[in-house]
């Protein structure tokens, strides 16, 4: 949050908005963590992930790691040929990247942590990342900017966000989504939101000065300002419980489609490569700049369906927090980095445009399926967990097209 100068020897007063929130918002659960475990071992979605899973669960890497990965290397060209021209929608390729990237986060059930830095496995990931990065760059386009000062770059980022004409999933949720659709929404978002902020945090040691300070300021809020019960991942887990979903980390990895995996993998690609630090900064800027209004609409949709503040808290928190974050992210973080390192300006724009594009693809997929009266998931959700769901029953919404543009992931 931004700071306010206080006269000498005068105690700072709590902002009115914070006082109002304290009187109305729920009290965090003492033990409400959304699980501290690993990503559940996913079911393969093709020959590549089948070979990868078999190799990884066969014990820690040893001197024979390269030989054990031979079936994976053999499956790579077949998978990439099959996914040529549609890498961002290819289930086998995107799930393989998800598993490989997750080794750098919380790990994967049944996979030894020593695989994280196994050279032979990193070589496999590198081969997948080449066509993946190319596809992300193509999808993002080539947004131009003639400025390199912080204000000019921030202005250009706001123009990109304002020009985004993606479908408005949040408006659909606010006005039309039914009880099962909002459950699907949270399941789709859970693969990222239960580790919210982590991919962007990789950039912290790669920045310096004003951009670093701005990033830390934003991330501190994302992690609850030192209060575990207010971490945004924790608030999202609370929302999941409110609609009767299992908030176990990665629980719905087998249910989400490739387009969702690609959106999460884009963050990991940018975050894990120092050469792409400009892109991960631009991605975060776009994410923060286009979150506040959709969060308000999402919250309204959940309230329309009868959910209380425990379930809507996650979205309500983002309405105010991201309204502040968008200014810091655009000017001090992204603009500041471009001013500090002008050579990174185009990567900053790349990251922002990629965010708008791939998150817009998720929204388009979800709306297309819902408006056709179908599920946006690969597999149906289990019935609400007993004693958790508070959502009333609701009939299937109208398939009338949603109107207007929306935010990344919204």
Task: Kindly report, residue by residue over 95-136, the tens digit of the pLDDT.
Answer: 999 999 999 999 999 999 999 999 999 999 999 999 999 999
Please report the pLDDT score of residue 35 as a whole number.
53
Nearest-10 crossing angle of helices 309-327, 232-242? 150
Q: Among 258-262, 317-321, 338-342, where is mean pLDDT lowest? A: 317-321
210 vs 83: which has the higher pLDDT? 210
pLDDT higher than 80, residue 42: yes
**Percent of the residues in the chain that have a pLDDT greater than 70, as a whole number:** 85
Query: CA dist 55 to 29, 65, 113, Å?
Result: 40, 9, 14
Token couple for 310: 């425990």
387 vs 74: which has the higher pLDDT? 74
Token couple for 383: 């019935």
Instruction: State pLDDT tens for residues 164-201.
Output: 877 799 999 999 999 999 999 999 999 999 999 999 99
Please report the pLDDT score of residue 323 as a whole number.
76
In angstroms, the first-to-last Cα distance of the chain is 23
35 vs 300: which has the higher pLDDT? 300
Which whole number is the average pLDDT over 380-405? 52
CB atoms within 10 A of CB 151: 12
Cα–Cα distance, 59 to 110 (Å, whole number): 8
Please report the pLDDT score of residue 324 as a whole number.
81
pLDDT higher than 60, residue 405: no
Task: Give me the half-sphere count of Cα atoms (radius 13 Å) on the Cβ side of residue 82.
Answer: 15
Please report the pLDDT score of residue 230 as a whole number.
93
Q: Is 348:278 a contact under the CB 8 Å cutoff?
A: yes
Which whole number is the average pLDDT over 67-83? 95
Cα–Cα distance, 410 to 407 (Å, whole number): 5
- φ, ψ of residue 39 to 5 degrees: the values are -65, 130
Instruction: State pLDDT tens for residues 259-288.
Output: 999 999 999 999 999 999 999 999 999 999
C-alpha of 42 from chain center: 19
Cα–Cα distance, 198 to 183 (Å, whole number): 24
pLDDT higher than 70, residue 392: no
Please report the pLDDT score of residue 30 as a whole number.
39
Q: Among 22-31, 139-148, 347-356, where is mean pLDDT lowest? A: 22-31
Please report the pLDDT score of residue 82 as a whole number.
87
53 vs 322: which has the higher pLDDT? 53
Within 8 A by CB and 6+ apart from 88, the residues are: 94, 132, 135, 136, 139, 258, 259, 262, 358, 361
pLDDT higher than 50, residue 317: yes
């Amino acid at each position: 949050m931004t700071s306010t100068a206080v006269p000498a020897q005068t105690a700072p007063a709590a902002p009115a908005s914070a006082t109002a929130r304290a009187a109305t918002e729920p009290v965090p659960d003492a033990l409400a963590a959304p699980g501290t475990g690993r990503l559940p071992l996913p079911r393969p979605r093709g020959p590549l992930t089948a070979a990868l899973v078999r190799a990884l669960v066969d014990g820690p890497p040893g001197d024979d790691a390269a030989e054990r990965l031979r079936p994976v290397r053999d499956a790579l060209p077949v998978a990439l040929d099959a996914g040529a021209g549609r890498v961002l929608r290819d289930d086998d390729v995107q799930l393989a990247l998800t598993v490989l990237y997750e080794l750098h986060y919380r790990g994967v059930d049944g996979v030894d942590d020593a695989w994280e830095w196994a050279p032979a496995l990193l070589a496999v990931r590198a081969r997948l990342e080449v066509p993946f990065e190319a596809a992300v760059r193509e999808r993002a386009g080539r947004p131009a900017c003639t400025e390199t000062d912080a204000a000019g770059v921030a202005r250009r980022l706001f123009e990109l966000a304002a020009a985004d004409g993606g479908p408005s999933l949040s408006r659909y949720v606010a006005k039309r989504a039914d009880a099962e659709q909002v459950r699907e929404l949270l399941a789709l978002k859970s693969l990222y939101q239960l580790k919210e902020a982590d991919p962007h945090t990789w950039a912290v040691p790669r920045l310096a000065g004003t951009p670093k300070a701005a990033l830390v300021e934003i991330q501190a809020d994302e992690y609850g300002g030192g209060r575990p019960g207010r971490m945004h991942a924790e608030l999202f887990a609370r929302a999941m419980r409110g609609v009767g979903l299992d908030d176990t980390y990665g629980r719905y990895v087998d249910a989400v489609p490739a387009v969702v995996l690609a959106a999460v993998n884009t963050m990991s690609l940018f975050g894990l490569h120092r050469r792409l630090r400009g892109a991960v900064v631009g991605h975060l800027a776009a994410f923060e700049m286009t979150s506040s209004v959709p969060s308000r609409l999402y919250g309204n949709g959940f309230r329309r369906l009868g959910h209380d503040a425990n379930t809507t808290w996650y979205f309500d928190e983002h309405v105010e927090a991201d309204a502040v974050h968008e200014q810091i992210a655009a000017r001090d973080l992204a603009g500041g980095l471009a001013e500090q390192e002008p050579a990174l300006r185009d990567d900053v724009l790349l990251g922002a445009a990629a965010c708008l594009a791939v998150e817009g693809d998720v929204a388009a997929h979800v709306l297309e399926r819902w408006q056709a009266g179908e599920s946006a998931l690969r597999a149906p959700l289990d019935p609400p967990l007993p004693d958790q769901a508070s959502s009333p029953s609701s009939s299937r919404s109208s398939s009338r097209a949603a109107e207007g543009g929306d935010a990344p992931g919204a």
